[in-house]
Amino acid sequence: MKHILSAKQFSRIDLEYLMSEARKMDTILDKWGNRMFDEKIMATLFYEPSTRTRLSFESAMMRLGGKVISETDITFSSQSKGEILGDTIRIVSGYADIITIRSKNTGDALLASQYSRVPVINAGDGSGEHPTQALLDLYTISKDFPGIFTGEKLKVTFVWDLRYGRTVHSLSLLLRNFPNVSLSFVAPENLNLPEQYRTEKDIFSDVLSDELLSSTDVIYMTRVQKERFPDTESYDAVKDAFIFDTTTVEKMKSNAILMHPLPRVNEIILDVDNLPQARYFEQARNGVPMRMALIKYCLEQQ
């Protein structure tokens, strides 16, 4: 049974396979004749807010001919009556052929996989990981920089909430498969990348310098995860530390790209959306073909 729990589980060969499958899915995205999973049901258990991940998984499943059942608010789940997650998963895996789960606790997707009779996909576990976002991020990068797979040098810079940002954790893990990619991390000290995601080759700074901006191929901006801060004061102290406006983007290389997993709050000014470097809306759209590929990857041997 293939679960998707962490970006760590993917080898370079897996990534090449999944990118190629996503490219194929991109070509059949709007062809509703493709019904390869018309006898399958996906359960989406989302115990934290989501727009992109849940809806793109549901769209992906439906575009493959499948059906979706959903729990989107823990207050309407029997967990609010005291049911443990393991029991919920035992039950839901009798109702569905694949489960996607988002929760506020790091490790919940792994726990769910231990109780499930069907594949479990981690759709974000607290401040842990978000591996399917990382895969669609890599797919987005590979569209602009296909040379990433053939050894071309690439510089990726992550900016801002690298401590709680689970998409940063997963994407940095995925990019460890590419020795040609160098990683820089820009954050205030108290929001920097946790030790377990670091290597000795990484570059760290608390300032996004003009030199770094103008030498980077991919800037990966993040939101400050307000909901994970212990109190409002510590959030207020950093909430406006990094803001991308048109002047900042003009310092980037003309062929560089600006990514963001979204949602944004105020860290990218709306005027930036029209600049050629802005890639975040296309990035979100890439979630559908990538998640179609992942559903196939998990279900095809079922």
> Which stretches of the chain bind ligand CP, using CB under 6 A?
50-53, 124, 130, 133, 261-263
Burial class (CB in 10 A: 0-12, 13-18, 19+), 195: exposed
Give whichever of 48 and 213 is closer to ligand CP, judged by the CB atom.
48
User: How far apart are CB 152 and ligand CP at their closest, in Å?
Assistant: 27
What distance in Å separates the CA atoms of residue 137 and residue 174, rounded to the nearest whole number? 10
Burial 128-147 (b: 16+ CB within 10 A, else e): bbbbbbbbbbbbbbbbbbee
User: How far apart are CB 54 and ligand CP at their closest, in Å?
Assistant: 6
What distance in Å separates the CA atoms of residue 72 and residue 64, rounded to the nearest whole number? 22
Give whichever of 41 and 262 is closer to ligand CP, judged by the CB atom.
262
CB 103 within 8 A of CB 48: yes
- Structure token digits, residue 257: 């790209």
Residues 6+ apart with CB under 8 A from 131: 4, 5, 6, 7, 9, 10, 122, 170, 174
User: How far apart are CB 87 and ligand CP at their closest, in Å?
Assistant: 26
User: How far apart are CB 179 and ligand CP at their closest, in Å?
Assistant: 27
Burial class (CB in 10 A: 0-12, 13-18, 19+), 186: buried
User: How far apart are CB 51 and ligand CP at their closest, in Å?
Assistant: 4
User: How far apart are CB 46 and ligand CP at their closest, in Å?
Assistant: 8
What proportions of the chain, in percent to the nearest 5, are helix, strand and coil? 45, 15, 40
What distance in Å separates the CA atoms of residue 122 and residue 4, rounded to the nearest whole number? 6
Give whichever of 133 and 184 is closer to ligand CP, judged by the CB atom.
133
* Beta strand extents in 41-180 (DSSP E only): 41-46, 67-71, 98-103, 120-125, 154-159
How long a stretch of residues is the chain?
A: 302
User: How far apart are CB 168 and ligand CP at their closest, in Å?
Assistant: 11
Give whichever of 53 and 172 is closer to ligand CP, judged by the CB atom.
53
What distance in Å separates the CA atoms of residue 116 and residue 249, rounded to the nearest whole number? 46
Give whichever of 51 and 209 is closer to ligand CP, judged by the CB atom.
51
Give whichever of 130 and 169 is closer to ligand CP, judged by the CB atom.
130
Name the residue among 265, 249, 247 with its Cα closest to residue 257.
Answer: 249
Give whichever of 63 and 166 is closer to ligand CP, judged by the CB atom.
166
Tokens 């789960």 identify what position? 101
User: How far apart are CB 263 and ligand CP at their closest, in Å?
Assistant: 6
Give whichever of 212 and 287 is closer to ligand CP, judged by the CB atom.
287
